[in-house]
């Protein structure tokens, strides 16, 4: 979020420093800064939080709390953009908080830790 804040401040300052800028130009600069700030805010939301009684998955626009028994399997296959949770009701829930894109080794370690918790606390199995 600090990048979004910095960009919003810079665009706002630039809009007022330009002598030839009209009110509409300034509004466009500030509006663009606000849109980028909001977009970066959405991108910063994803996380996976494990607790003794279950796991909370926060994705871009949704938040879902699951009991351990609801999670059947944790998967992170080569080429996957993020971890997927196979649920007891037959659906799959993406867990965007664990992404191998930049920090592949960390994502694999996090996926393994989540699998271990599912196996320990729930009725789930793991698959690679």
Cα–Cα distance for residue pair 102/40, rounded to 1 Å? 17
pTM here? Answer: 0.78
Instruction: Give pLDDT tens digits for 61-113.
Output: 999 999 999 999 999 999 999 999 999 999 999 999 999 988 899 999 999 99
> Order of strands across the sheet with 71-75?
71-75, 83-87, 92-95
């Amino acid at each position: 979020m600090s990048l979004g804040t910095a960009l919003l401040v810079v665009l706002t300052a630039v809009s007022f420093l330009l002598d030839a800028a009209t009110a509409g130009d300034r509004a466009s600069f500030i509006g663009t800064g606000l849109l980028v700030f909001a977009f970066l805010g959405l991108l910063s939301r994803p996380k996976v939080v494990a607790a003794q009684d279950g796991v909370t998955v926060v994705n871009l626009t949704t938040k879902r709390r699951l009991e351990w028994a609801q999670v059947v399997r944790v998967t992170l296959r080569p080429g996957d953009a993020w971890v997927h949770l196979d649920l007891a009701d037959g659906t799959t829930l993406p867990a965007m908080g664990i992404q191998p894109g930049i920090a592949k080794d960390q994502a694999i370690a996090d996926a393994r830790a989540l699998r271990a918790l599912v196996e320990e606390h729930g009725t789930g199995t793991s698959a690679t």
